[in-house]
Chains A and B, each alone.
Chain A
Amino acid sequence: MFDKTEVTLDELRHLISDRAVEGETVLLNMGPQHPSTHGVLRLLLELDGESVINCIPDVGFLHTGVEKNMEAKTYEKAEVMTDRLDYLNTVGNTLVYCLAIEKLVDLDVPPRAQAIRVILTELQRIASHLVWLGTHALDLAAMSVFLYCFRERELILDILEMCGGQRMMATYVRPGGVWRDVPEEFEPAVRNFLKTFPARIDEYEAMLTKNPLFLERTRKIGVLSREDAIRWGVTGPSLRASGVAFDLRKAAPYSGYEQYEFDIPTQTDGDTYARYLVRIEEMRQSLRIVQQAMDSLPSGPVRSNNRKFVPPPRSELGTSMEAVIHHFKLWTEGFTAPEAGVYVAVESPRGELGVYLEGNGGPKPHRVYWRTPSFVNLQILPLLSKGHLVADLVALIGTVDIVLGDVDR
């Protein structure tokens, strides 16, 4: 079927220097199967001895055509694919997709559902930062941090499992609310986590923040200036570590974030250490939000009562003819959305996670576009890595905090 079998050097000629062609510098492949690329990321490195002259990222190994597939499914059925994108931020992915649907069809969300969404998103943010912290430290040869981080992450995954029935891909957030109310054991589990976790953050900090080996590997490594960060559209902790206090939870609050009190941690150095400090502080701020949301958790329904978009509860099906009709219509044809597009963005652990959703009057989306933070943030890797050692490149891949499912979609 295909005639071409390999990429020749000519096709990449515009990206590499003359010295590589003359054989003075070495071209080296890193990945796609490499433990420190955090997934299937391939980097073509041009090396002078041990220092990186240029780094050309090659992505797409995990491309699954999610955007195309979603166009072929009804709005609600397409949702199940959304939490497979960024598998460390599954609640956030489903949340932004549901917010886009709710905006497109103008659907209301009850306050209790909004608070549950916030609690789970913030817990998920902590879990995501824990995976980042564990693997980042592991890359820099601090083995034990990884084990501590995954111990606490498991507590959060247990909470997600008791709500949605699955540890990671629960598709718990649904258009118009959440799938069902949280179980009884939810509150004690979250309270217990809130009680134990602050001391655990101190534990990680005791292992890393003043550790001379860690400082040596992260300070002044991969400095990203404020101007470059903005020019390249970088968002999330990487932008905040360069001194820009931009957080969509404050800038354009959604799901009732305006009710909660929290700070946006920023640093000005823009190096790998600054990004570490920002993420550690973000975990503390997330705890504050969860604490407030738990204390003020309203009672009431967890899903909208608009039967044109939300299926009726099972109990009504035996007694109400309208419920049967709505149930049948929603699970066969699905609901329709107007011929218009909306762009909705939330703050994921990695930055601005946006969805452009366009309807065409029918029950299936005409176009779903995912603006994923990993994809945009990964572009700065060549900029960050120039002049650094190969060993530092490992730290830089960790500090950009990419999830390859999010990059390749």
Chain B
Amino acid sequence: MNEYLQSVANALIDRHAAGLIEFRDQLSLVISPEDLQPVCLALRDEFSFEMLSAQTAVDYWPQQEPRFHMLYFFYSLAHNIRLGLRVPLNGNAPTLPSIEGIYPNANWHEREIWDMFGIRFEGHSDLRRILMPYDWEGHPLRKDYPLGYEEVQFTFNYDEIDQRKPYAKE
């Protein structure tokens, strides 16, 4: 484990009561949505993580609390280390502050996450769909969104499958 990375993690754990996940030498911090912007600012200005490498979300449906995890991967050119952030989000239509003002390339990442998961970003300058057609209904990467085929309903499982169908819920 890189010493610098460990000190960054310790500092953020002390300051924001962050959780820590370590798996195969990869370090991720778990923080709450309110802490997101201060943590990102600290990472960029204080700990020299100049780049946002990737940003995405994971859906844990049918679990509701938290239903989503927002994932950020930062890279530090100066120290050649990578750090992950995880932000658990509750409920079906969560919102989260945008980090576009801190890392400009979050713009398209956040548009993609809105498009695919239906997570809204407050303060985003241009929150439109990006990959799906602009008039698409639903958010395809959610786990309750079917893969594109129609499941065959029989009398014994009609209601069960009906519940999984994408209409009328969101």
Find B23's partner among A231, A340, A354, A366 (CB 8 Å cutoff): A340
Q: Could you tell me the distance in whole angstroms from the C-beta of B132 to the nearest C-beta in chain A?
A: 6
What are the 3 tightest A-B residue pairs by CB atom distance, in nearest-first order?
A: A371-B54, A233-B105, A60-B131
Q: Could you tell me the distance in whole angstroms from the C-beta of A224 to the nearest C-beta in chain B?
A: 13
Q: Is the CB of A343 within 8 A of B126?
A: no
User: Scoring B residues 11 to 45 as 1 if CB is less than 8 Å from chain A, else 0, what string do you get?
Assistant: 00000000000011010000000000000000000
> Which residue on A lies nearest to B135, using beta carbons?
A4
Q: Is the CB of B105 within 8 A of A379?
A: yes
- CB within 8 Å of B: which A334-363 residues: 340-343, 345, 352, 354, 356, 358
Q: Is the CB of A366 within 8 A of B26?
A: no
Q: Could you tell me the distance in whole angstroms from the C-beta of B150 to the nearest C-beta in chain A?
A: 14
CB-CB under 8 A from B51, the residues of chain A are 230, 233
Is B47 in contact with chain A by the CB < 8 A criterion? Answer: no
Is A146 in contact with chain B by the CB < 8 A criterion? Answer: no
> Which residue on B lies nearest to A228, using beta carbons?
B104
Q: Is the CB of B132 within 8 A of A60?
A: yes
Q: Could you tell me the distance in whole angstroms from the C-beta of B12 to the nearest C-beta in chain A?
A: 18
CB-CB under 8 A from B129, the residues of chain A are 60
Complex A-B: 21 CB contacts under 8 Å: A2-B137, A4-B135, A11-B128, A15-B126, A60-B131, A60-B132, A60-B133, A65-B140, A67-B116, A68-B141, A72-B147, A230-B50, A231-B50, A233-B103, A343-B54, A343-B84, A354-B73, A367-B56, A371-B54, A375-B108, A379-B107
Beyond the given A68-B140, A343-B82, please list 16 additional residue pairs across the A-B interface where CB-CB is below 8 A. A15-B126, A59-B131, A67-B141, A230-B50, A231-B104, A233-B103, A252-B82, A340-B23, A343-B53, A352-B53, A371-B53, A371-B54, A379-B104, A379-B105, A379-B108, A409-B131
**Interface residue total, chain B, C-beta cutoff 8 A:** 40
Once A and B bind, how many residue pairs between them come within 8 Å at the CB atom?
98
Q: Is the CB of A14 within 8 A of B126?
A: yes
Q: Is the CB of A69 within 8 A of B125?
A: no
Is A205 in contact with chain B by the CB < 8 A criterion? Answer: no
A201–B53 Cα gap in the complex (Å)? 32
Is B119 in contact with chain A by the CB < 8 A criterion? Answer: no
Q: Could you tell me the distance in whole angstroms from the C-beta of B27 to the nearest C-beta in chain A?
A: 11
A11–B135 Cα gap in the complex (Å)? 12
> Which residue on A lies nearest to B141, using beta carbons?
A68
Q: Is the CB of A232 within 8 A of B58?
A: no
Identify the A interface with B (CB < 8 A): 2-5, 7, 11, 14-15, 59-60, 63, 65, 67-69, 72, 103-104, 106, 230-233, 244, 246, 251-252, 340-343, 345, 352, 354, 356, 358, 366-367, 369, 371, 375-376, 379, 408-409
A251–B140 Cα gap in the complex (Å)? 35
Is B87 in contact with chain A by the CB < 8 A criterion? Answer: no
> Which residue on B lies nearest to A14, using beta carbons?
B126
Q: Is the CB of A345 within 8 A of B147?
A: no
Is B130 in contact with chain A by the CB < 8 A criterion? Answer: yes
Interface-central residue, A233, A356, A408, by most chain B CB under 10 Å: A233
A366–B73 Cα gap in the complex (Å)? 18
> Which residue on B lies nearest to A339, using beta carbons?
B23
Q: Is the CB of A68 within 8 A of B105?
A: no
Q: Could you tell me the distance in whole angstroms from the C-beta of B32 to the nearest C-beta in chain A?
A: 19
A379–B26 Cα gap in the complex (Å)? 28
> Which residue on A lies nearest to B140, using beta carbons?
A68
A367–B58 Cα gap in the complex (Å)? 7
